């Protein structure tokens, strides 16, 4: 898994030093370049006026010294004239500085809405239809019996372990209620993911509500404002993924290179409005507004990034294999990458009851895009100064779709669900979900 050695950054300096590469990368994403052209103009004008302001400030400082010299020499008329000149120049400087601030804010807004540049080795393509299936593991379409072709929402209702009707009563559609061993399965899947990654990843339990700047750091704001749950009274956001607080854990900090890669993992509930999803794959657990997930994330140097990316992908695959699920690895094309990502591999699990490949994990390398927004740096062991870290993450296990694939894949002819051996330690001695567990 190779990565280009040139760092991907939407640093305003690149608008004048590497503009063609920026435009080429954004063109691969299908981005309208008119906003980049506007950013170029904004950056040039801001830089020009900033130089004017700095010159005026220098002249004001010089005039202040001249005023003092005139007063010490007894030339009060000259002192007053120079003081008047200094005040007028200072007023003009403040007006121009206000314009610099406006231009800087407009430029920042454009760049905050501009996605990351895709990695050189990300496939070309305009949409999900151009994504590349790298390989498929454990899938044989002829190996599934009729009993496995029942969708999980029917299995859940038959066994009394998934209550969509009462979830809708409590909170509205797409808020499921898990019951009995269905609820145990939710917790077991999360604990399995934590246990499998505890050898290398520090467990964190971050807050589920975060500030706006925490959401901005990962790129979820301002672009995805309509998909978030915002508590206006407190100006806090319900996290859509633990990626958000984990990425900002070291915000505005300088790390030591010796501490990298720094690996973190977290179980959290996640909240997403799923804007625009109405009518598309909304049955059962295919799309929900609240779900549990274990996220694994790392800060790394550019040289470490490829190895860390491969490790996160291998760990996410390992959990799916441990659960006895068929899955495939999909290399996302440039046009289908998330806004912050430079390279992403999706893991799609096969659910025989739905007869669908369901996205279960996105394993992404963000280059320095997120860390630049969050101002996360490291001090190289050799040399001077600081450098921006790279961030990488992936879902170690996201519950809803994996839950669905487990109950569909492991359903038996008698209607019971066999539990994968990896989950036995979390089920209080049970080895299956029996068919008689449903309420009358």
273 is in an annotated binding site: yes
Using alpha carbons, list the distances in angstroms from residue 305 to 26, 63, 120, 142: 22, 53, 15, 39
Query: Checking DSSP bridges between strand 432-433 and strand 236-238, what pairing results, if any?
Result: unpaired
295 is in an annotated binding site: yes
| Region of residue 215 (left: phi > 0; alpha: psi -120 to 50; beta: else) | alpha
CA distance linking residue 229 with residue 218, whole number of Å: 16
175 is in an annotated binding site: no
The full length of the chain comes to 440
Q: Is the dihedral of CA 141, 311, 263, 210 positive or negative?
A: negative
CA distance linking residue 6 with residue 305, whole number of Å: 12
393 is in an annotated binding site: yes
CA distance linking residue 211 with residue 189, whole number of Å: 29
35 is in an annotated binding site: no
362 is in an annotated binding site: yes
CA distance linking residue 422 with residue 94, whole number of Å: 66
- Cis peptide upstream of residue 261 (ω within 30 degrees of 0): yes
Q: Could you write out the DSSP letters of every residue in 306-340?
A: HHHHHHHHHHHHHHHHHTT--EEEEE--GGGS-TT
340 is in an annotated binding site: no
CA distance linking residue 241 with residue 271, whole number of Å: 7
134 is in an annotated binding site: no
220 is in an annotated binding site: no
54 is in an annotated binding site: no
Q: Which residues contact 76 (CB under 8 A, 6 or more apart)?
A: 70
CA distance linking residue 162 with residue 284, whole number of Å: 9
3 is in an annotated binding site: no
Residue positions forming the annotated binding site for L-serine: 241, 272, 295, 393
Residue positions forming the annotated binding site: 241, 272-274, 288-291, 295, 359-362, 393
Residue positions forming the annotated binding site for ATP: 272-274, 288-291, 359-362
């Amino acid at each position: 898994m190779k990565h280009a050695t040139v760092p991907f950054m939407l640093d305003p300096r690149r608008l004048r030093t590497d503009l063609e590469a920026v435009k080429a990368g954004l063109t691969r994403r299908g981005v309208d370049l008119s906003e980049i052209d506007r950013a170029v103009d904004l950056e040039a004008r801001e830089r020009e006026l900033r130089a004017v302001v700095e010159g005026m400030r220098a002249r004001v400082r010089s005039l202040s010294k001249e005023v003092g010299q005139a007063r010490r020499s007894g030339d009060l008329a000259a002192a007053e004239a120079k003081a008047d000149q200094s005040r007028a120049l200072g007023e003009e400087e403040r007006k121009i500085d206000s314009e610099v601030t406006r231009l800087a804010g407009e430029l920042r807004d454009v760049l905050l809405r501009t996605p990351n540049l895709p990695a050189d080795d990300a496939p070309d393509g305009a949409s999900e239809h151009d994504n590349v299936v790298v390989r498929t593991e454990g899938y044989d379409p002829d190996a599934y019996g009729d009993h496995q072709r029942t969708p999980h929402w029917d299995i859940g209702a038959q066994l009394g372990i998934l209550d969509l009707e009462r979830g809708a009563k409590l909170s509205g559609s797409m808020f499921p209620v898990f019951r009995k061993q269905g609820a145990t399965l939710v917790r077991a899947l999360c604990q399995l993911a934590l246990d499998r990654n505890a050898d290398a990843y520090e467990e964190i339990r971050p807050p589920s509500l975060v500030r706006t700047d925490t959401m901005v750091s990962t790129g979820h704001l301002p672009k995805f404002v309509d998909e978030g749950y915002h508590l206006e009274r407190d100006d806090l956001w319900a996290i859509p993924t633990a990626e958000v607080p984990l990425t900002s854990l070291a915000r505005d900090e300088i790390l030591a290179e010796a501490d990298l890669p720094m690996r973190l993992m977290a179980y959290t509930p996640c909240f997403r409005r799923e804007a625009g999803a109405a009518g598309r794959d909304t049955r059962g657990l295919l799309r929900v507004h609240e779900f549990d997930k274990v996220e694994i994330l790392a800060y790394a140097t550019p040289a470490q990034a490829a190895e860390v990316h491969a490790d996160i992908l291998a760990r996410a695959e390992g959990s799916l294999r441990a659960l006895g699920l068929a899955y495939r690895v999909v290399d996302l094309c440039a046009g289908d990458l998330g806004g912050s990502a430079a390279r992403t591999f999706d893991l799609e699990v096969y659910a025989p009851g739905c007869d669908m490949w369901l996205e279960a994990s996105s394993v992404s390398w963000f280059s320095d895009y997120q860390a630049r927004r969050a101002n996360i740096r490291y001090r190289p062991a050799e040399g001077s100064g600081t450098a921006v870290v790279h961030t990488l993450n992936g879902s170690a296990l996201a519950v809803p779709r994996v839950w669905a694939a487990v109950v569909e894949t492991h359903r038996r002819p008698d209607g019971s669900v066999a539990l994968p051996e990896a989950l036995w330690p979390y089920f209080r001695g049970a080895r299956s979900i029996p068919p008689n567990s449903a309420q009358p």
